[in-house]
Amino acid sequence: MEYGKAYVFQPSDIRPAKRRRVDTQGLQASWRRRREAYTKAWQAQQRAIDERLSSINAATVSEVSAFLDEAISSPQSERIPTGVILAGYGVNSHSSIVSQLARRKSADEDGRQIYVTLTSAYGANLKALLKSLIQRALRRQTGLDDDEEDPPTATARRGPRLLNYDLQLLHDYVREHKLQQIVVAFEDTEAFDSDLLSELIEMLGCWHGRIPFAFLFNIATSIDFLQQRLARAAIKCLDGRLFDLAPAGEAVEAVFDALMSSGAPLWLGPSVMSILLERQGDYIQSIDGFVDAVRYAYMSAYYANASTQCLESSENLPDDHCEALRNLESFRAYAQQMLENKELLRLKDCLESNQSLAAVTSLRITEGQRKLNDMMSALSTLRKIQEVLPNMSVSPRSSLYVQAMSGKLHGSTLLRMLLLTIRKMPSHVTVRLLEAILAADSLDTYAQGVCRQLLGELNEILGSRNDPTQPLRSEDDVQNSTLRTTVVAQKVELSKHKAALSDQDKAYTQVLGRLSEVLESYFEETLVNPKDLPFHEVFVYDLKSPHREVFMPRPRHAIERALASPHDYLDCECCEPDRGERDEATLSATQPATAVLYQLYLESGSLINASDLWQAFQAVIGDERDESQTMAHFQRALAELKYLGFVKQTRKRVDHIAKVMWRGL
Amino acid sequence: MGLQHLPEELLTLLEQWPCREQQLRQLSAVLSPKLPSPHAVVVHGPHATGKTGIVRSHLANSKLKHAFIDCRECVTGRHLLERTVAVVHNAVTGDANSLNDRCENVSALVVNLQRLLDGRGKFALVLDGVDKQREPSPTLLPALARLGEVIPDLTVVLIVQYPPPRFLHQTGIPHTYFSPYTRNQSIHILSQNAPDIFIEPPPADLEYDEDVHQEDKAWLWPRFCAAVWDSLAQNAARDLLAFREVCHKLWRPFVAPIIRGDFGTRDFSRLLVAQRRLFQDESVLLDSVVPAVALPSNVRREGHELPYYAKWLLVAAYLASFNPGKLDALYFMKTTERKRRKKGGGTARSGGGRPSQNRKMPRHLMAASAFTLDRLMSILHAILPHDLRTTIDMYTQIATLTSLKLLVRGGGIGSSDPSEPGGKWRVGPAVSWDYTQALARSLDFTLIDYLAE
Q: How far is CA A473 from CA A388, A392, B123, in A?
A: 17, 19, 97
Tell me what pLDDT residue A583 has.
Answer: 53
- Listing DSSP states for B176-210 in one string gives EE-PPP-HHHHHHHHTTSPPPS-SSPPPGGG---H
Higher pLDDT, B147 or A28: B147
Mind listing the pLDDT tens digit for each residue in B362-409?
777 888 888 888 899 999 999 999 888 888 889 888 988 888 888 988
B121, with CB counted inside 10 A (0-12, 13-18, 19+), is exposed
Q: State the average pLDDT for chain A.
A: 83
Q: Hey, what amino acid is at A309?
A: Q
Tell me what pLDDT residue A143 has.
Answer: 40
CB A482 within 8 Å of CB A461: no
Which residue of chain A is at minimal alpha-carbon distance from B302?
A: A222
The percent of residues in chain A predicted with pLDDT above 70, rounded, is 88
Least confident of A12-16, A226-230, A423-427, B170-174: A12-16
**Contact at CB, A661 and B374, closer than 8 angstroms:** yes
Does residue B347 register a pLDDT over 50? no
Cβ-based contacts of A230 with chain B (< 8 Å): 289
What is the H or E stretch that residue A107 is in? helix A92-108
Q: Which ranges constitute the DSSP H helices of A487-609?
A: 503-526, 536-539, 545-551, 555-564, 567-570, 593-603
Query: Looking at residues B169-194, what average pLDDT do you find?
Result: 91
Q: Rounded CA gap, A197 and A647, in Å? A: 38
Give A272 to chain B, closest Cα distance, Å: 17
Give A385 to chain B, closest Cα distance, Å: 28
Domain ranges of chain B: 3-177, 183-202+210-293, 308-337+364-450
Could you say which of A159, A207, A555 has the minimum Cβ distance to residue B392? A555
What does CATH list as the number for A58-245? 3.40.50.300
Does residue B335 register a pLDDT over 70? no
Does residue B348 register a pLDDT over 50? no
Does residue A263 register a pLDDT over 80? no
Residue from A249, A425, A318 nearest B306 by CA? A249
CB A428 within 8 Å of CB A474: no
Task: Judge: domain A555-659, CATH 3.40.50.
Answer: no
Cβ-based contacts of B301 with chain A (< 8 Å): 222-224, 242
N residues, chain B = 453
- Listing DSSP states for B81-99 in one string gives HHHHHHHHHHHHHS-SSS-
A487, with CB counted inside 10 A (0-12, 13-18, 19+), is exposed
Which residue of chain B is at minimal alpha-carbon distance from A282?
A: B308
Q: Rounded CA gap, B288 and A442, in Å? A: 52
Could you count the other beta carbons within 10 Å of the beta carbon of residue A496? 9
Q: How far is CA B347 from CA A447, B331, B333, B334, B337, in A?
A: 69, 16, 19, 19, 14
- Listing DSSP states for A48-82 in one string gives HHHHHHHHHTHHHHHHHHHHHHHHHH----SSEEE
**Contact at CB, A220 and B98, closer than 8 angstroms:** no
Which residue of chain B is at minimal alpha-carbon distance from A160?
A: B100
Q: How far is CA A488 from CA A440, A483, A494, A495, in A?
A: 54, 16, 10, 12
Q: State the average pLDDT for chain B.
A: 84
Q: Rounded CA gap, B189 and B17, in Å? A: 9
Which residue of chain B is at minimal alpha-carbon distance from A131?
A: B75
N residues, chain A = 665
A242 reaches B (C-beta below 8 A): yes
CB A557 within 8 Å of CB A549: no
CB A156 within 8 Å of CB A173: no
ipTM: 0.88
Does residue B13 register a pLDDT over 90? no
**Contact at CB, B97 and A220, closer than 8 angstroms:** no
The percent of residues in chain A predicted with pLDDT above 90, rounded, is 14
A110, with CB counted inside 10 A (0-12, 13-18, 19+), is exposed
CB A441 within 8 Å of CB A448: yes
Could you count the other beta carbons within 10 Å of the beta carbon of residue B77? 18
Q: How far is CA A558 from CA A28, A110, A565, A569, A619, in A?
A: 31, 56, 11, 11, 28
**Contact at CB, A284 and B307, closer than 8 angstroms:** yes
Q: CATH 1.10.10 region(s) of chain A?
A: 555-659
A359 reaches B (C-beta below 8 A): no
What is the H or E stretch that residue A133 is in? helix A126-139
Of the CA atoms within 13 Å of residue B148, those in its CB half-sphere come to 23
Which residue of chain B is at minimal alpha-carbon distance from A205?
A: B73
Strand duo A656-659 + A113-118: pairing:
unpaired
Query: Looking at residues B215-221, what average pLDDT do you find?
Result: 90
Q: Rounded CA gap, A658 and A609, in Å? A: 9
Q: Rounded CA gap, B206 and B398, in Å? A: 68
Could you say which of A235, A236, A662 has the minimum Cβ distance to residue B374? A662
Beta bridge partners of A117: A185
Tell me what pLDDT residue A569 has.
Answer: 87
CB B137 within 8 Å of CB B167: no
B346, with CB counted inside 10 A (0-12, 13-18, 19+), is exposed
Which residue of chain A is at minimal alpha-carbon distance from B313?
A: A283
Tell me what pLDDT residue B413 has.
Answer: 58
Give B297 to chain A, closest Cα distance, Å: 11
Give A550 to chain B, closest Cα distance, Å: 10
Higher pLDDT, A334 or B300: A334
Beta bridge partners of A658: A607, A648
Which residue of chain B is at minimal alpha-carbon distance from A191?
A: B403
Q: Rounded CA gap, A117 and A101, in Å? A: 12
Mind listing the pLDDT tens digit for each residue in A295-313?
999 999 998 888 888 888 7
pLDDT band at A284 (very low <50, low <70, confident <90, very high): confident
A-B interface: how many C-beta pairs under 8 angstroms?
173
Q: Hey, what amino acid is at B100?
A: N
Cβ-based contacts of A160 with chain B (< 8 Å): 82, 85-86, 99-102
Cβ-based contacts of A86 with chain B (< 8 Å): 299-300, 303-304
CATH architecture of the domain covering B3-177: 3-Layer(aba) Sandwich (3.40)
Tell me what pLDDT residue B223 has.
Answer: 92
Residue from A593, A634, A629, A591 nearest A612 by CA? A634
Mind listing the pLDDT tens digit for each residue in B357-367?
677 777 778 88
Q: Rounded CA gap, A316 and A358, in Å? A: 8
Residue from B38, B19, B326 nearest B189 by CA? B19
Q: How far is CA A19 from CA A24, A26, B419, in A?
A: 13, 19, 41
Task: Judge: domain B308-337+364-450, CATH 1.20.1630.
Answer: no
Q: Rounded CA gap, A137 and A502, in Å? A: 77
Q: Report helix, strand or coil for B66.
A: strand
Could you count the other beta carbons within 10 Å of the beta carbon of residue A36? 12
Sheet with strand B175-177: strands edge to edge? B65-70, B123-128, B154-160, B40-44, B175-177
A235 reaches B (C-beta below 8 A): yes
Does residue B346 register a pLDDT over 50? no
Query: Looking at residues B164-192, what average pLDDT do you find?
Result: 90
- Within A264-306, strands assigned E span 267-268
Could you say which of B72, B299, B304 has the minimum Cβ distance to residue A89? B304
Query: Quick one: DSSP state of residue B131?
Result: G
- Vertex A610, ends A604 and A614: CA angle to 5°? 90
- Listing DSSP states for A322-386 in one string gives HHHHHT-HHHHHHHHHHHHTT-HHHHHHHHH-HHHHHHHHHHHHHHHHHHHHHHHHHHHHHHHHH
Q: CATH 3.40.50.300 region(s) of chain A?
A: 58-245
Beta-carbon contacts of B228 under 8 Å, excluding residues fewer than 6 positions away, are B243, B246, B247, B250, B279
pLDDT band at A148 (very low <50, low <70, confident <90, very high): very low
Strand duo A491-498 + A481-488: pairing:
antiparallel
Could you say which of A130, A160, A665 has the minimum Cβ distance to residue B75? A130
Q: Rounded CA gap, A67 and A291, in Å? A: 31
Beta-carbon contacts of B288 under 8 Å, excluding residues fewer than 6 positions away, are A227, A235, A240
**Contact at CB, A86 and B394, closer than 8 angstroms:** no
Give A223 to chain B, closest Cα distance, Å: 6
Q: Rounded CA gap, A630 and A634, in Å? A: 6
Strand duo A656-659 + A647-649: pairing:
antiparallel
Cβ-based contacts of B97 with chain A (< 8 Å): 157-159
